[in-house]
């Protein structure tokens, strides 16, 4: 018997699927040094396994998106989860760093199939209903982000780093069984739809030239760059400059993840009460921008006490949680027939922008202050707000006016 889309079980399934890529990063972080000791490599060299995973995680959805639009979400999920399970087992059995690097790269390709989660939501839900589902998925993702490092450390202590990959394989297998036997196809597949290069190219051309979807993708990319700047810069600043212990920084990281969850949860609740998506998006982006600018001002005057700094970082995260469900919903709203391609393009562009902002923060870190982090956060969050206010929102209003009065389209 299939899981009905309106049930909590279906929402939980979507949340667990969407959390696979994130847990694939965070659960491995505590084990880098131990893995290196076993394989005869440094912790920094083992860190390349993260880069391998994230590289394939960013690129593979660009293939999965159009494929899922033409063949269905279920076959793509089944293939990706099977690949994820096999690669996780290979990682657990690795006896050298090159083998582990290859395993992590393939593992990322498998995990990337779960990017179709947001396309599944668009297949089944519209408007505030889609926004609410996306908010619930964001809550699940952040729960996994909070739990994963602690789970990884516990597994490492009990049975070694190999058990982390074995656990990932077990989770992937359980999800695969549910998808195969309890999940029904959600995509409306046109009989004439063919999976040829020209059709794939045309799908992405439509996404990247759409007057509404593209601006919202850029808003999401700028918002993602803000968060990636925090993730990289906060650890450098609090551990490297302030001198906090890693477990103290872990509490800060968990607090910010909880703030994202709270923002997404609140947005879902307010959406059910009729608060418009546009209002919540404006509030979320404004809050993130104001808090980021305050952090930059504090950095410039040399006043960065830990408690207010953490409070403002949590405000940025809370604003991100308020805005993300609305950005994703608006991005896919106008192109439901190629929701897979839209979701893939949005996810890959956000990961690329995040990688760039993360690299910029790390390269410009001066070892003493949070300037590289707060400057990139301020620029990125302000860019997201301006793109929404002056590009995305006017474009959406123009398109709505043209739908109501088609004569306007000729002017």
How open is the CA angle 101-102-108, to the nearest 5 degrees? 90
pLDDT value at residue 193: 62
Answer yes or no: is 190 within a domain. no
Whether pLDDT at 227 is above 70: yes
What is the number of domains present in the chain? 2
Answer yes or no: is 131 within a domain. yes
Does 216 share its domain with 178? no
Does 223 share its domain with 338? yes
Answer yes or no: is 407 within a domain. no
Answer yes or no: is 188 within a domain. no
Answer yes or no: is 43 within a domain. yes
Answer yes or no: is 193 within a domain. no
Does 140 share its domain with 13? yes
pLDDT per residue as tens digits for the range 365-405: 998 999 999 999 999 999 999 999 999 999 999 988 877 77
Does 284 share its domain with 172? no
Final residue before a domain boundary, out of 182, 216, 239: 182
Nearest CA to 73 out of 109, 123, 111, 110 is that of 123
Does 173 share its domain with 217? no
Query: What is the extent of the structural domain holding 140?
Result: 1-182
Does 13 share its domain with 153? yes
Answer yes or no: is 303 within a domain. yes
Does 353 share its domain with 223? yes
pLDDT value at residue 128: 87
- The answer to which of 90-104, 307-321, 391-405 has the lowest mean pLDDT is 391-405
The DSSP output letter for 160 is -
Does 4 share its domain with 84? yes
The whole-model pTM stands at: 0.88
* CATH value at residue 266: 1.20.1250.20
Does 168 share its domain with 292? no
97 falls in which pLDDT band (50, 70, 90)?
very high
Cβ 227 vs Cβ 364: under 8 Å: no
Does 264 share its domain with 392? yes
Does 223 share its domain with 141? no
256: CB partners within 8 A, 6+ apart: 230, 234, 313, 314, 316, 317
């Amino acid at each position: 018997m299939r899981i009905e889309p309106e049930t909590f079980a279906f929402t939980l399934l979507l949340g667990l699927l969407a959390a696979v890529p994130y847990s694939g990063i965070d659960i491995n972080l505590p084990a880098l040094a131990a893995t290196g000791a076993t394989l005869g490599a440094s912790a920094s060299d083992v860190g390349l396994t993260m880069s391998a995973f994230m590289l394939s995680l960013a690129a593979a959805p660009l293939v999965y998106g159009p494929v899922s639009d033409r063949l269905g979400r279920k076959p793509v999920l089944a293939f990706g989860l099977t690949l994820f399970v096999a690669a996780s087992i290979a990682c657990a059995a690795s006896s050298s760093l090159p083998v582990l690097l290859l395993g992590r790269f393939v593992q990322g390709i498998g995990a990337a199939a779960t990017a179709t989660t947001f396309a599944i939501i668009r297949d089944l839900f519209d408007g505030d209903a889609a926004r609410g589902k996306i908010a619930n998925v964001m809550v699940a993702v952040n729960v996994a982000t909070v739990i994963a490092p602690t789970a990884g450390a516990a597994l490492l202590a009990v049975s070694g780093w190999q058990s982390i990959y074995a656990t990932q394989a077990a989770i992937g297998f359980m999800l695969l069984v549910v998808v195969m036997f309890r999940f029904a196809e959600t995509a409306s597949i046109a009989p004439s739809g063919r999976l040829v290069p020209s059709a794939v190219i045309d799908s992405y051309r439509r996404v990247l030239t759409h007057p509404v979807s593209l601006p919202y993708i850029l808003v999401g990319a700028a918002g993602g760059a803000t968060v990636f700047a925090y993730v990289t810069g906060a650890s450098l600043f609090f551990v490297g400059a302030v001198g906090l212990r890693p477990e103290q920084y872990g509490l800060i990281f968990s607090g910010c993840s909880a703030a994202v969850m709270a923002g997404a949860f609140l947005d879902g609740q307010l959406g059910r009460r009729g608060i418009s998506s546009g209002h919540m998006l404006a509030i979320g982006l404004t809050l993130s921008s104001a808090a980021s600018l305050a952090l930059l001002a504090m950095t410039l005057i040399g006043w960065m006490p830990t408690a207010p700094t953490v409070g403002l970082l949590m405000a940025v995260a809370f604003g991100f949680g308020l805005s993300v469900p609305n950005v994703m919903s608006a991005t896919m709203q106008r192109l439901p027939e190629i929701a897979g391609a839209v979701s893939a393009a949005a996810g890959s562009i956000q990961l690329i922008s995040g990688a760039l902002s993360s690299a910029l923060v790390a390269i410009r870190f001066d070892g003493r202050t949070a300037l590289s982090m707060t400057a990139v956060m301020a620029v990125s969050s302000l860019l997201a707000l301006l793109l929404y206010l002056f590009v995305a929102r006017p474009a959406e209003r123009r398109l709505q006016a043209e739908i109501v009065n088609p004569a306007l389209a000729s002017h």
